Structure 1
Amino acid sequence: MRLPALLAAVLAVPLLSACVDDRASWSIDGTREHALSVIREQPLFWDKKVNLYVVVSRMPACNRRHALGAGSENTRVEVYQVPSGAFVVKAGKRMYATESQTCESWARLEEEPAEGLGELRGVFRVRNGQFAFFAEQPEAAGEDAE
């Protein structure tokens, strides 16, 4: 009776290992208490769809998880910051505005704001098999654009 259960467990391991369930964070002001994170979940290994979530937190004041929608394992999530301090999160063609004062605001943007997306802070993406946040590197002062 133990053999069928053991066999089922062994056969399930490769199936479970194909699922995506990871997260990456950006420390907004260099602390863990103020961050924007992206969570990727693929509940069914045979489904190519990955559910994306954004967690905005400024502890201990607020912490909120918002649904970003579905993507693939390779969907890039870009983060922009507007002068007011709010953020625009972009995944593919979907864009949302959020903030970290109350962590409650989450609004879909149907088109790019007239004043632009703001300053690119970085991108959540897969590199060398790892999902991580890659900060935008500021251009060196004095370099001329070609």
Structure 2
Amino acid sequence: MRLRHLILPLLAAPLLTACINDGATYEIDNTREHVLSLIREQPYFWDSKVNLYLVVSRMPACLRRHHLGVGTEKTKVEIYQVPSGAFIVKSGKRMYATETQTCESFAKMDGEPAEGMGKLMGTFRVKDGELVFVREESEEAKSAGN
């Protein structure tokens, strides 16, 4: 009887480790106090759906968590910055606008703005099995590399 109590949890452990619960951060202005972070949560190991959340933070002034919807383990999330300083977050075909002055404004967008998406700052994506933020290279950096 005692052996069964030890074996059952060991058999269940690999099933529980299949769930995703991780995150990555984009440091705005290269500071830890001003960030956009992507959080991924997979509630059930048998379901490929992953809940995506964006944490908008400018400490100590504000901090908010917004739901981006459902994606998969491989869903890429792009971050664009518009001239006003606000951000456009693109997750698959869905787009949202947010800001870091109050961290409260978060709105689903029906399509790309007429004035454009702004500057692509980078992409949250899975690299070598880990969620990371990959910064977009500036044109100057691309030219220097050639």
Q: Give the alignment's TM-score, normalised by structure 2.
A: 0.94
Cα distance in 1 for partners of 2:37, 2:81 equals 15
Partner of 1:31: 31
Partner of 2:102: 102
Q: Measured at CA, do residues 9 and 65 of structure 1 come closer, stay the same or move farther in structure 2, by a change above 3 Å?
A: same
Percent identity between the two aligned chains = 64
Matches within 5 A, 1:36-115: 36-115=36-115
Q: Measured at CA, do residues 17 and 103 of structure 1 come closer, stay the same or move farther in structure 2, by a change above 3 Å?
A: same
Cα distance in 2 for partners of 1:85, 1:57 equals 14
Cα distance in 2 for partners of 1:142, 1:8 equals 54
Deviates most, 95-104 or 5-14: 5-14
Partner of 2:21: 21
Cα distance in 2 for partners of 1:124, 1:142 equals 20
Cα distance in 1 for partners of 2:6, 2:92 equals 42
> Number of residues paired by the alignment?
143
Cα distance in 2 for partners of 1:142, 1:30 equals 20
String of CA shifts for 1:55-88, please: whole Å, max 9, x gaps: 0000000000000000000000000000000000
Deviation at 1:142, TM superposition (A): 9.6
Please list every run of 5 or more consecutive structure 1 residues that lacks an aligned counterpart in the other structure: none
Q: Is residue 10 of structure 2 the alignment partner of residue 10 of structure 1?
A: yes
Deviation at 1:141, TM superposition (A): 7.2
Deviation at 1:102, TM superposition (A): 0.2
Q: Quick check: which one's helix share is greater?
A: 2
String of CA shifts for 1:31-63, please: whole Å, max 9, x gaps: 111000000000100001000000000000000
One-letter amino acid of the counterpart of residue 68, structure 2: L
Cα distance in 2 for partners of 1:88, 1:74 equals 20
Runs of 4 or more above 6 Å deviation: none
Match of 1:29, SS? helix
Partner of 2:124: 124
Cα distance in 2 for partners of 1:47, 1:85 equals 37
Q: Measured at CA, do residues 44 and 98 of structure 1 come closer, stay the same or move farther in structure 2, by a change above 3 Å?
A: same
Q: Give the alignment's TM-score, normalised by structure 1.
A: 0.94
Please list every run of 5 or more consecutive structure 2 residues that lacks an aligned counterpart in the other structure: none
Deviates most, 79-88 or 8-17: 8-17
